[in-house]
Amino acid sequence: NKRADFYPDLWVQGGEKARLAELAISPGTTVVADTWPIDRSHLVFLWEDMKAANQLEKNSPIGFFQCNLELRGRALHTSRYQLAVGGGWAETGEAGKRFGPSIAKTGQISLELLVKSSENNQGPFLTLSGKSGEVLVMAQKNTDLLVKSGDNQLTWKDVFTAKSPVHLVLTAGKGDVQLYENGKAIGRKKLVLDFSATPIDNFILGDKAGKWQGRIANIGVYNSILPQSVIELTSRLTLKKSEQVEPVKQIVLQGSLEESTTIPAPDSLGAYRRALVVNVYKVEKVISGQYDEERILVAEWAVLDRQIIKEYPPEPRTEQLVLEQFDQHPELEGERQMMDVFEPDLTMYYRVPDNL
């Protein structure tokens, strides 16, 4: 009418069969649809990427906590600030001990992460453990995702089939576990987890055995079962942001070492656990990309996790170099760089490790 009065009734066919409790956002939950993580009310650990603040506020279930990753083995960060594990893993310090009692109290957990992996990967990429052993492990076997707890193993088929990253959420509690792939529920399976019997006190990402290789970001641990509506929103936001970054241009060439920098002894690095050395290579052949100079300045890893990983050959030999401009790798700012060569007219490139 002219007053614009409008009193609609809405009837949803099949609505009487819906389980609204699983879809509803719990009271008091603050949802911000354009900021990760969307639901912070039950958050007990977060690591978005290397550049983010990664802090829990004082009103979180475990109080104020600075969440960090300590790179071990050959684990590194990518140019997009993600965690890259291949021959390495990341430790989370005291995080497991801080959030373990909170998980034990609720008896529930939700694990969220963005994973980029190949189809032929094998090994664990997330492990929660206690003093008596592993509590919950997420692993990959080719295209399948495995969840392990004690002698129990559950399998979800064909999760790792796309070349693009996959957003995973695993919820556990009340006698079962549910897996979400890119916001969609792909299977509920029976699994009884008693977080109070074996309290969590350690949390690692990657594979200590060094077999699993991939990238991880947007890591969230919650002391509750996330509602499906929050999972769907989180997945859309995370995947959208992951698609917005342009890949770094690479050049691939064959070259031989011409001038080198002395590899530092790990004990000489002080507080640093990693070090780059800058060397000059003679360009023999450009395989892909464009490079016109006869020589090239290359920064490459020599020390990782206080272990020397590079050796110079006794005689120059041809090597294949996968390179990206150094200034396209902001994650390297603050890393220890050793340089005995002087080539002010050459652009410096970063030798991309195999696990990136």
C-alpha 169: how far from chain center:
13
| 3-state SS record for 170-219 | EEEECCEEEEEECCEEEEEEECCCCCCCCCCCEEEEECCCCCCCEEEEEE
pLDDT grade for 86, boundaries at 50, 70 and 90: confident
**Residue 234 near residue 180, CB atoms below 8 Å:** no
Question: Distance (Å, rounded) from C-alpha 11 to C-alpha 295?
Answer: 73
| pLDDT at residue 161, rounded to an integer | 85
Question: Distance (Å, rounded) from C-alpha 221 to C-alpha 215?
Answer: 18
pLDDT grade for 6, boundaries at 50, 70 and 90: low
Mean pLDDT lowest among 3-7, 64-68, 73-77, 149-153: 3-7
**Residue 281 near residue 302, CB atoms below 8 Å:** no
**Residue 54 near residue 40, CB atoms below 8 Å:** no
| pLDDT at residue 5, rounded to an integer | 58
| pLDDT at residue 262, rounded to an integer | 97
| pLDDT at residue 341, rounded to an integer | 95
Cα–Cα nearest to 350, from 327, 320, 319, 318 = 327
Question: Distance (Å, rounded) from C-alpha 40 to C-alpha 57?
Answer: 9
**Residue 135 near residue 203, CB atoms below 8 Å:** no
| pLDDT at residue 8, rounded to an integer | 62
Question: Distance (Å, rounded) from C-alpha 162 to C-alpha 112?
Answer: 18
Cα–Cα nearest to 234, from 281, 272, 194, 183 = 183
pLDDT tens, residue by residue, 133-157: 999 999 999 999 999 998 999 999 9
| pLDDT at residue 222, rounded to an integer | 98
| Cα atoms in the 13 Å half-sphere on the side-chain side of 179 | 21
pLDDT tens, residue by residue, 221-233: 999 999 999 999 9
Q: What is the dihedral of CA 152, 157, 163, 165, to 10 degrees?
A: -50
pLDDT grade for 242, boundaries at 50, 70 and 90: confident
Which amino acid belongs to residue 216? I
The percent of the chain in helix, strand and coil, each rounded to the nearest 5, is 10, 40, 45
pLDDT mean over 310-314: 94
Which residues, 6 or more positions from 272, have their beta carbon under 8 angstroms from its beta carbon?
335, 336
- Is 111's pLDDT higher than 90? yes
Computed over its alpha carbons, how large is the radius of gyration of the chain? 24
Question: Distance (Å, rounded) from C-alpha 125 to C-alpha 137?
Answer: 8
101 burial (CB, 10 Å; 0-12 / 13-18 / 19+) is: middle
pLDDT tens, residue by residue, 14-47: 766 666 555 555 554 445 567 899 989 999 999 9
Cα–Cα nearest to 263, from 247, 279, 244, 246 = 279
